[in-house]
Amino acid sequence: MRVAIIGTGLIGTSLGLALQEVHEVDEVVGYDRDTDRLTAALHRGGITVAALSATQAVVDADLVVLAVPAPAIAPVADEVAGALRAGAIVTDVASVKTAAVSTLQQALPDDVWLVGGHPMAGSHETGPEHASGELFVGATYLLTPTTHTDPQAYRTLHRLVAGIGARPMAVDPGDHDRLVAVISHLPQLAATTLMNLAADQAQRQHAGLLLLAAGGFRDATRVAASNPQLWLDICAENRAAIVTVLDDYAAQLAQLRATIAAADEERLRTVLMQAQQARRRLPRKAVGGGALVELLLPIPDRPGVLAEVTTSVGAVGVNIEDFSIDHAAEGGRGALRLIIAGAGAAATAAAALKERSYEVRERQL
């Protein structure tokens, strides 16, 4: 398998390093419009060949990873569209998916398979020199299948993502953007606001204020040091979901303010204890556990079934370890085999699928 990576920053180069360890990957061709970054990726070993252009990189590639910033996705896709081979799989790594997936769907030819992706891994460092093949180990790697997604292309990408040690999870692009607004974009904007508030008050009221910053403040504001351009792009692409979640946050804060102002100790205790318990239960890494269970689903042969099944399983917090699609000889119906780790997780997934009227058979492997 020949992989092309366009954009050899931290994520692109780390993916290149990780994919080279996967048995079925033979070659990783890279391209970056910044020659220094491309050379650094080659030196770091993240790519095996440096191409002279994005177009040259994608020729004959089986998998094309667009690891460029969100605003560059449209121009790069337009540029390479004509050079992609029929049957190539294209994925991206953008942190906001509705816009990226729809841009790519429009730009790419019909004989190329698109599966949007978003690895939930990163670093405060940027650039290929900080790349690591271990970056994705244990991280959730979101894939956004839609009704247009080819099941075999999805399966290939799912297998590669699992192969680099990440935990693939399927999610609808729109759901994705609402989820990351809560778990990634809101924490960033809350940290930015907290930092600015403290800095303002230090300047206006008490220059010693920031000398009092202990571990709690440092933790709560750490991401405020992130790259402003990245967050400008994210706010532009995920505006609606971010505004909604800021409203939810403001409403909860207003409730908390009222609870404290009213000295409602019982209510405040509940709020503090709920958060304490939720924080303690926060999963460390998305690791699977337990014996493998197979779920077998007879499925109708219509578009969108794969996206519906995989995102329904993701929505109940269950990872799919592997899956295969059997097509019945007579056509019209096939079967989907999902492999889930752990009897509890398999039962949760089966229940979610049955609720959507799928017939599900479980089998311990």
Q: Which of residues 132-191 bind a copy of itself (CB under 8 A)?
A: 139-140, 142, 167, 169, 171, 175, 178-180, 182-184, 186-191
Q: Binding of a copy of itself at residue 289 (CB under 8 A)?
A: no
Rank residues 197 and 291 by Cβ distance to a copy of itself and give the closer one: 197
Nearest Cα to Cα of residue 308 among 331, 273, 338: 338
Taking CB under 8 A as the binding criterion, the range among 46-54, 73-81, 241-249, 335-343 that sits at the site for a copy of itself is 241-249
C-alpha pair distances (Å), 67 with each of 15, 90, 227, 233: 9, 11, 17, 15
Rank residues 23 and 284 by Cβ distance to a copy of itself and give the closer one: 284
Task: Say if residues 342 and 320 touch (Cβ distance below 8 Å).
Answer: no
Q: How far apart are CA 144 and CA 118, in angstroms?
A: 8
Least Å distance, CB 194 to a copy of itself, is: 6
Instruction: Count the Cβ atoms, other than its own, within 10 Å of residue 13.
Output: 33
In the set 317, 326, 351, 356, which binds a copy of itself (CB under 8 A)?
A: 317
Pairing mode of beta strands 292-300, 333-341:
antiparallel
Task: Say if residues 176 and 144 touch (Cβ distance below 8 Å).
Answer: yes
- Which residues inside 211-240 make contact with a copy of itself, applying CB under 8 A? 211-228, 231-232, 235-236, 239
Question: In one letter, which amino acid is 311?
Answer: T
- Which residues inside 319-348 make contact with a copy of itself, applying CB under 8 A? 319
- Which residues inside 12-71 make contact with a copy of itself, applying CB under 8 A? none
The site string for a copy of itself over 100-129 (x = CB under 8 A, - otherwise) reads --------------------xxx-------
Taking CB under 8 A as the binding criterion, the range among 28-36, 157-165, 281-289, 298-306 that sits at the site for a copy of itself is 281-289
Unique residue bearing structure tokens 């908390």? 256
- Which residues inside 84-103 make contact with a copy of itself, applying CB under 8 A? none
Order of strands across the sheet that contains 333-341: 322-327, 333-341, 292-300, 361-364
